[in-house]
Amino acid sequence: MLQSIHDRAQGWLAWIIIGLICIPFAFWGIQEYFTAAEEVAVAEVNGEEVELDAFQQAYQQYRKQYQVILGRLSEQANEDGLKQQTLDQMVEMLLKKQLGEKLGLRISDRQVTQAVKALPAFQRDGKFSNNLYERGLQSAGMSAVTFEEQLRRELLTDQVRKAVIDTSFVTKREIDLVAKIKSQTRLITYAIIAAQPLQSSLQVSDEEIARRYKDEAETYTAPEKVKIAYLELALEEIAKQIEVTPDALSGYYGEHKSAYTLPEQRRARHILIKLAKEAGQKAVEKARKEIEALAERMKKGESFEDLAAKYSEDVGSKSKRGDLGFFQRGVMAPPFEEAVYALKPGEISRPVRTDFGFHLIRLDGIREGKTKLFEEVREEIEKNYRNEQAERRFFDLSEKIETLTYEHPDTLDVAAQSSGLKVQESAYFGRTGGEGIGAHEKVSDAAFSPEVLEERLNSEPLELGDNHIVVIRVKEHRTAKLRPLNEVKNDIKTAIASDKAKAAAKTQGEALLERLQSGEGREQLASKEGLKWAEKEKLGRDDTGVDNVLRRMAFKLPRPNGGKASYGGGVLDSGDYALIALLDVDKAETVDVERRKQLKDELLRNTSNQEWRDLMSDLRRHADIAIFSENL
């Protein structure tokens, strides 16, 4: 369809669109827009190749999303993992596409239109907005036809999954069983043997402290740390120092006036008769006759708009009676664009063929280009001027710093004096990072590398972000060292006492549990041992009002027999010991209709998702998949 991808997509809406079709777009569509001199495959799935260009685009987008979510990307460990995840997704998508073709699935124009209108990015007050749609695609550098074609392909893969999931079912017996289990409640009471109060009565000897100090020396070892000296160069800081004069800004505006000029835009309508790029002569002639017949009908007085609404096969513009809105050069397919810019307002073109088929085009309007006045864009000019000057200085300085820190590998002073930068110092940090400059993973990795730590050389320039580099060297190194016993003695004593108290609480609790299970009454036991049983409480399986360990114990205990409680016990996450009495089990014979529906949906969702995972695993297992790791 109408081809359009700008060299760079800009703006928040562009990222929403790109995020929507990130890996699918790269996988399905990349070869429609770029033609590589030599195709290189990274994988082959049942004879179909995953091309390197498509993989690289998908990987870069996936990597960006990963960094946005996690904020930081570890070096090699995650790079390899992300590449593998990207390739796995692309292989799975190809398997889904092949399955869809085998099942004969198709996506109609109506389904595509509904999907577009359902996207929140193109809605205002909950309703689809043509203006938002057009502006969004224009900011992303994409025509409606191209976007919708890619969306169609993504919907196909979703349809494959839906075709499988929709065949899943659960029986009434399964629902009844889950309803009984999920809706069951248990009446409990419990008593806590707290560990902390027992600590004061426990003795910890010096021998025990010495033994713990020896056995767990790693716990009481101060980690290895370094303090670094570093040179930092950031374009943002350089830009603040650039001197700005009225003459400089005026001159910059004059030299870059085209950047502040809105290009001429043209508004057109079209009618499309689809035709495959590789169509044979018979299909070409058929499509040509159809488009020529429509042209003849226009000559006889029929409305372009009415014919477009009825006969055009372009999903994006058909509902708008062929209207494509305003666009500038570089957006549409070249033959289409040439025809539009050759027309005068109101004129209709002869049939024009593109990779998407035959078009009839009518030029509806011209929006002349306009240059913004200096006063309108002064702030933007100053920012751009500063950045341009700063970029030149940044690259000059970065090259100088790289050269001098390499030629003088045992000092940063020479590079600092030549570049006018100050050698800065960090706080101490370990191999896992620290504060300030040490929080950057690249910095901590470099600081502990053999070249920088052991040979005491300057690091290579480290890129901490766009136009932001540092060169570091180790100033001080503290090896991992066992802390003196007198420094950690109190910590060790407290830890031993805590462990002993928890063990004592467990021993005491287990003894009390044995007495309960042997028939001693819980109130009698509480009176003798100074325990306090909690108020009786009904628990559901999903209740969050009590400790998780308690809840799990309650639902593991056998039903009370003959009016006698079932008893259990266990160590809580806090180290305290809990005695629990199960008093009654509510069979929950009836479940209301709404709850039953929720359980059915939950069970069906879990079942269908598992069946889908099983299917994809089976497809992978029986597919002929070759991975060319050397090309990644």
What pLDDT score does 36 carry? 38
Q: Which helix (H) or strand (E) holds 233?
A: strand 225-234
Kindly tell me the burial class for residue 554, based on how many C-beta atoms sit within 10 Å of its own C-beta (0-12, 13-18, 19 or more). Answer: buried
What pLDDT score does 78 carry? 62
What pLDDT score does 76 carry? 40
Closest of 14, 357, 331 to residue 341, by C-alpha: 331
Closest of 424, 427, 397 to residue 413, by C-alpha: 424
Cα 276 to Cα 286: distance, rounded to the nearest angstrom: 12
Residue 181 CB contacts under 8 Å (≥ 6 apart), including other chains: 541
Distances (CA, A) of 421 to 393, 457, 530: 13, 19, 71
Residues of the chain with pLDDT under 70: 1-39, 64-78, 139-142, 588-590
Tell the residue number behind the tokens 């932001």, with chain if given. Answer: 468
Cα 459 to Cα 464: distance, rounded to the nearest angstrom: 13
Cross-strand partners of 532: none
∠ CA 368-374-380, rounded to 5°:
100
Cα 259 to Cα 383: distance, rounded to the nearest angstrom: 14
The answer to pTM > 0.85 is no
Whether the Cβ atoms of residue 180 and residue 555 lie closer than 8 Å to each other: no
Sign of the CA dihedral 119, 124, 130, 131? negative
What pLDDT score does 227 carry? 97
Residue 301 CB: number of other CB atoms within 10 A? 6
What pLDDT score does 252 carry? 85
Buried b (16+ CB within 10 A) or exposed e, 357-387: bbbbbbbbeeeeeeeeeeeebeeebeebbbb
Cα 539 to Cα 555: distance, rounded to the nearest angstrom: 9
What pLDDT score does 508 carry? 95
